[in-house]
Amino acid sequence: MKTISNLKIQENLARVFKGRIRQNEALSQHTYMKIGGPVDLFLNPEDIADLKAAVEFLNQAAIPWVIIGKGSNLLVSDQHLPIAAIELSSAFFQELSRQNNVVYAAAGVSLASFINFNKSQGLAGSEFLAGIPGSIGGAVFMNAGARNLNSAGLEKLCSVFDIVSQVQVMDKAGELSIISKKDIEFSYRSCGLDDQIVIAAWFELEPGAEVKIDLDIQAFLDNKIKTQELGLPNAGCIFKNPSIIKISAGALIEQANLKGLAIGDAAVSLIHANFIVNKGKASFAQVKSLISQIQVIVENKFSVYLEPEVKIWDREGFK
Ligand SMILES: Cc1cc2nc3c(=O)[nH]c(=O)nc-3n(C[C@H](O)[C@H](O)[C@H](O)COP(=O)(O)OP(=O)(O)OC[C@H]3O[C@@H](n4cnc5c(N)ncnc54)[C@H](O)[C@@H]3O)c2cc1C
């Protein structure tokens, strides 16, 4: 695979693009897993017009591109990738505002800032996102969520789908639109908008007391501290929970006695069996092999195929 022939492209891009351009940026610096090789271009558009300019330029130059959020759900090849990664992190993509009970959040806002803003506004409903380390763009794209106890004390799966009302997107050709929830095919860890860039979203929340909201956020955070791997680099849950049985992917991996199984520095977490940790210098190949090994063992033992939740970016694709 060729490197994007640099200088000319850079010069031409700089004529139409106002934001920051980095070359040969290692994605290991932008992923929670701390794994990822260099991409030819790493772009931070200043605003929507700048994003459109970048997308149009890259399309015309036939340079493949991807959108990267906070990198908390990514496993990226450590080989060079001849692509552009676009990160929506400039001030423009940090807007948070409120009208009545509806909160507007731009793609680059962190979930922590979103939750804190809602708390300060006395708006309840987003507390279940506490402790999920992503951006609004990534959370909408992934339909991020968590288990919650409802008022009757029953466990319920909450996700972005429950609170979002509409999403502003840009398609791959650079066209903008606003899509309402009823037209979005949300499902478990997907919003079905695979060909769209999430620019911002509106969330319908409910008035609530700040003290109660804070207590609920704390309860979610405490639960994460108890049950999730926070010490070593990881990408959250590696596999989706299977739909055909009512046992979580983590429970299946644990029942197969795979906690601690390691290939090089990639290991199944001792705390949460659905997490793979990077104990130091884990390579992409080691994590991928560990994923395959877990899939084979679990399938042989329980006849359940574990589908990856983590997005895997390599020269074969960006899935
Ligand atoms: C310790 C830990 C705990 C976690 N716990 C949970 C949990 O409880 N529940 C849960 O659901 N997830 C969890 N995750 C996974 C992850 O945090 C979420 O999936 C999060 O929503 C990803 O957001 P991100 O900004 O990091 O996206 P990234 O990881 O950067 O990207 C993920 C995908 O979203 C796409 N994307 C990102 N931004 C945009 C955009 N603006 N437009 C279009 N596509 C975009 C990317 O192209 C990629 O395909 C956890 C991760 C870690 C490391």
d(CA 319, CA 310): 9
pLDDT digits (tens, 9 = 90+) for 93-116: 999 999 999 999 999 999 999 999
Which DSSP string corresponds to 86-155? EE--SGGGG-EEEETTEEEEETT-BHHHHHHHHHHTTEES-GGGTT---BHHHHHHHT-EEEEE-TTS-E
Q: Is the shortest distance between the CB of 312 and ligand 1 below 6 Å?
A: no
Domains 95-227 and 249-318 share a fold: no
pLDDT at residue 4 in the model: 56
Q: Is the shortest distance between the CB of 108 and ligand 1 below 6 Å?
A: no
Q: Whose CA is nearest to atom 7 of ligand 1?
A: 132
pLDDT at residue 303 in the model: 96
Ligand 1 atom closest to Cα of residue 30: 30
pLDDT digits (tens, 9 = 90+) for 168-180: 999 999 999 999 9
CATH of domain 249-318: 3.90.78.10
pLDDT at 5 over 60: no
d(CA 163, CA 181): 10
pLDDT digits (tens, 9 = 90+) for 51-77: 999 999 999 999 999 999 999 999 999
Q: Is the shortest distance between the CB of 88 and ligand 1 below 6 Å?
A: yes
Contact assessment for residue 144 and residue 138, using Cβ atoms and an 8 Å cutoff: yes
Q: Is the shortest distance between the CB of 139 and ligand 1 below 6 Å?
A: yes
In the block, residue with structure tokens 């899935």: 319
Share of the chain above pLDDT 70, in %: 96
Q: Is the shortest distance between the CB of 45 and ligand 1 below 6 Å?
A: no
Q: Among the CATH numbers 3.30.1490.190, 3.40.1360.10, 3.30.465.10, 3.40.50.1000, which is that of 95-227? A: 3.30.465.10
Domain parsing of the chain, residue ranges: 6-91, 95-227, 249-318
Which one, of 51, 58, 23, 54, lies nearest residue 39 by Cα?
A: 23
* Mean pLDDT, residues 13-34: 96
pLDDT at residue 8 in the model: 77
* Mean pLDDT, residues 173-202: 94
Q: Calculate the CA dihedral of residues 54, 172, 2, 57 and round it to 10 degrees.
A: -30
d(CA 96, CA 260): 41
Q: What residue ranges in the chain does DSSP mark as E strands?
A: 20-26, 38-44, 65-68, 74-76, 81-87, 96-99, 102-106, 123-124, 145-149, 155-159, 164-171, 176-180, 196-204, 206-207, 262-263, 266-268, 276-278, 311-314, 317-318
CA distances from 82 to 61, 77, 197 (A): 12, 12, 20
In the block, residue with structure tokens 């960006």: 318
Q: Among the CATH numbers 3.90.79.10, 1.10.3720.10, 3.30.43.10, 3.90.180.10, which is that of 6-91? A: 3.30.43.10
Ligand 1 atom closest to Cα of residue 140: 21
Beta partners for 121? none
pLDDT at residue 11 in the model: 84
pLDDT digits (tens, 9 = 90+) for 229-279: 888 999 999 999 998 888 999 999 999 999 999 999 999 999 999 999 999
Contact assessment for residue 83 and residue 66, using Cβ atoms and an 8 Å cutoff: yes
Q: Is the shortest distance between the CB of 146 and ligand 1 below 6 Å?
A: yes
Q: How confident is the model at residue 3 (pLDDT cuts 50, 70, 90)?
A: low
pLDDT digits (tens, 9 = 90+) for 118-169: 999 999 999 999 999 999 999 999 999 998 765 556 577 899 999 999 999 9
Q: Which two tokens stand for residue 200?
A: 């911002």
Total-model pTM? 0.95
Q: Is the shortest distance between the CB of 269 and ligand 1 below 6 Å?
A: no
Ligand 1 mean position, distance from CA 253 (Å): 22
